[in-house]
Amino acid sequence: MVVENEKKFYDILNMVTESNELYLKLEVIKYFYNIIEKPSQYSIIEFEIFIFKYYFEYTINEQLIEQNKAFSDYYNKKPSPININPDDETHLIFFKSFYYILANTINFKEKINENGIKILIRQININIFKNKINCALNNFKKEIMNKINLNINNIKDKINKLKLIIFEKDNDENNQINFIMAFSNLRANNYGIKNCSFLKAKEVAGNIIPAIASTTAAITGLSCIQLYASIETDDIKLLRCGAFNLGTSEFDIFFPEEKRYIKNKPKAKDSPEYIVIPKEYTCWDKIDIMGPNMIIKTLIDDFKNKYNVDIDFINYNNELLISPLDDEESKMKETIEKLVEYKTKKKINSNQKYIKLDLSISQGICEVLTPAIRYVLKNN
């Protein structure tokens, strides 16, 4: 790390010849140092305000001063600086999403709501003033390096604990797409360009290519036709199954098979003995366990009373939650939610309606087969 070597720190910064870029790097180092040294809502929002003012106000004003003549061209659109407005939805999305990404990076657990963001924005006043004289920037470098050197061991330890954030477009709760959308729309507002939606930002940032003429599109089309048919009638004879290959232009439309049931069968030679609960089910059936906050013992007792079976193991996503054979009394009194979060080291998504449990069930020496088992997290 550059903080371990003052000469390396200066060598890296001296490679930056453009004063605006150098000023930005120094300010980012200063603010980020403050954040990891004393993480707080204030220090994080203060850094965000600097980033906002630099990119959407300061650089635009600089551009207007330096290239004023260029904007006389009809096709060269003149930008406008943006002042922070805590009541603007796009501004709030920028600050909120940026806050949670930074907080996740430094393992800062303190949450913030929109009202808290508005209060801090109105409290914090940052005036960006860049002196382009090299000696002033050199003094700035020394000031930052001296501050870092005072707490070098503490800073190194905290830097080593920073969390690497991996871009994941499909997790809407990590705030990454929200940040990309807000940043893009703020820059668009500088130039009077139409804003994009969340889904558009997700499509572009995730490099999602819509299926226009593909197998996915063909399946979707045929499924929609069947959906229309199922609305009109419940006669299975009017429905069809399809198999096709767009690569060879082969299409096969045929009558669907009758619904297949899994049911009890007499034991055959060399086959394992098993029973089925309920007495018969299809691959589309489910057993719903109604939560929330059901304790493990209640789940086991309910299955015993209702089906006269024993639950030997309870698994979630290949994680063993409990084995009643272990007779762990403390675990038996835990709720399913808490045990899942403890074993997986992850919070259950607040928008999740249910989780799928994998139960190993027996009745005497017989294995018990069941439909998919869902633990319902919400009653509504």
Helices (H) and strands (E) in the chain, counts: 14, 11
Show the DSSP H helices in the chain as ranges: 6-14, 19-37, 41-53, 59-66, 89-105, 114-123, 134-150, 152-160, 176-190, 198-205, 215-232, 296-307, 329-332, 336-344
* DSSP state, residue 163: P
Domain 2-205: give its CATH architecture: Orthogonal Bundle (1.10)
Taking CA 82 as the corner, what is the angle to CA 80 and CA 88, rounded to the nearest 5 degrees?
Answer: 135
Strand 262-263 to 310-316 pairing: unpaired
pTM to 2 decimal places: 0.56
The third-level CATH classification (topology) of the domain covering 262-376 is 3.10.290
What's the pLDDT tens digit per position in 160-207?
Answer: 778 888 888 888 889 999 999 999 999 999 999 999 999 999 988 888
Which residue matches tokens 């790390």? Answer: 1
Q: Nearest Cα to 331, choosing from 321, 341, 317?
A: 321
CA distances (Å), 225 to each of 105, 230, 249, 252, in order?
Answer: 47, 9, 20, 15
Domain boundaries, given as residue ranges, for the chain:
2-205, 215-254, 262-376
Low-confidence winner among 50-54, 103-107, 121-125, 143-147 (lowest mean pLDDT):
143-147
1 band by pLDDT with thresholds 50, 70 and 90: very low
Q: Are 336 and 375 in contact (CB under 8 A)?
A: yes
Question: What is the predicted pLDDT for the residue at 189?
Answer: 95
Rounded to whole angstroms, how far apart are CA atoms 181 and 94?
A: 8
Express as a percent the part of the chain with pLDDT over 70.
83
Q: Do domains 2-205 and 262-376 have the same CATH topology?
A: no
- The tens digit of pLDDT for each residue in 24-80 reads 888 888 888 888 888 999 999 999 999 999 999 998 988 888 776 555 555 567 889
Q: What is the mean pLDDT of the chain?
A: 82
Q: Given a cut of 90, is residue 144 above it in pLDDT?
A: no
Q: State how far the alpha carbon of 39 is from the alpha carbons of 46, 49, 95, 100, in Å.
A: 11, 16, 16, 13
What the block records as the tokens of 133 is 């004289």
